[in-house]
Structure 1
Amino acid sequence: MQAGWVVKGVLLILLIFSVACWAIIFYKYRVIRLARIQSNNFLKVFWMDHPLNTLIRSAKQYSASPISRLFEAAYDELNKIMQKEALLKKKSQNSEAHVEMTGITETMGIERIKRALNRATISEITRLERSITFLATTGSTSPFIGLFGTVWGIMSAFRGIGARGSASLAVVAPGISEALVATAAGLAAAIPAVVAYNHFVRKIRVLANEMQNFSSEFITIAEKYLEK
């Protein structure tokens, strides 16, 4: 291939983009697939109504699950609240003060658990979304990078025509065909990136919805624990 240095540079950039995209695609596929499988397994255990102190062992077993990490964060917060409530019970001297303090602790405790779940959810979604923005960037920019290489290659081909003083097909065709390779390379890098990005975003959205549902259910369970 006798393409100019600009076109070769464009092709090199697109090759780097493409290799990086495929590395991200294989890695994120494995991570998200494992997160989905382990989340489903943990939820099966969770819905069996085991005590929370036994569920924490299952959560550590399914460490790749974002939902199990949500559970760990919320369970730690609930433990702190219950320990604080136990101290307040010991310090309260009369039943009326105890009832009032318990009500305040329960309300504040639920808010603290909600905040812990929200922080954990944001953290898990951010972790799942890490690197996939590169796929979106590649999908949106690669065709234009390839087009730039094509335009530059065609310009070079026409300059060659002017220098030779001949516009025959034998002179024009090689330069233009080489220039069009850049556009093809841009599309080859962009199409898998866009398809993979949309696929991963859809899977992450499903996991995010499951995390939201789990958070609501855990808050209901926490309210029952704090009422005891």
Structure 2
Amino acid sequence: MESAVTHIREALAALVLPGKAAISQKFFKTGTGEYGEGDIFLGISVPDQRAVAKAFYQEMSLDEISQLLSSEYHEYRLTALFMLINKFQKTKVPVEKEAIAEFYLSHLLYINNWDLADSSSYPILGSYAYEYDREDLLRTLARSDQMWHKRIGVVGTLYHIRKHSFGLTKEFVTHNLKHPHDLMHKANGWMLREMGKKDPDELIRYLDQYCREMPRTCLRYAIEKLDEPLRQKYLKGKI
């Protein structure tokens, strides 16, 4: 009898798009010395991966999801994370949510590109941290020396932002404000922009204090939705 993992691999194989793998490997910087060095793509669209995850997640155990998440193929890992999100969001049993959060933390090694981190951090770990008062989990990641852990910690606060809770976001962004990598500048700016959507005054207060210290990329992301005259003032340092 074929396993659920085999069925998923077969389903994904049928969705491979000619030429997409090469495009993805360039887009996600998989070359020597780049942040996604060595990652391998099959060439499958994200909507198709979500559809496969939705179709199969109920029959998948965490052990089987682990087999996909530890794969060398990027799409297997992302599909596994989509299934994990589905499982986490559908269960109402606290012990099951805890098990999924612990599983996620034990597989951080495989969450090793920005799309993997961004799509899974807040609906799983951010949600768990908020609902079960485990902000320490996100804080440990945001203060890690490992960039992908940092990004998971920072983007994980998006769940808090959507609940109008901004303290963690400001703490983590400030701690990582001068991180050397552009991917962290983008993550920090993105979270500030999302905070501004919920509470513009909160963003303005933060920008007034820190805008002169921000890397340009972070600032541009943070002020993207502001009115143009105000946005220009921040860009030109006239605040």
- TM-score interval, normalised by the smaller of the two chains: under 0.3
Q: TM-score, normalised by structure 2?
A: 0.23
Given the two structures, how large is their TM-score scaled by the length of structure 1?
0.24
Larger Rg: 1
Query: Relative contact order (alpha carbons < 8 A, sep ≥ 6): 1 or 2 greater?
Result: 1
Bigger helix fraction = 1
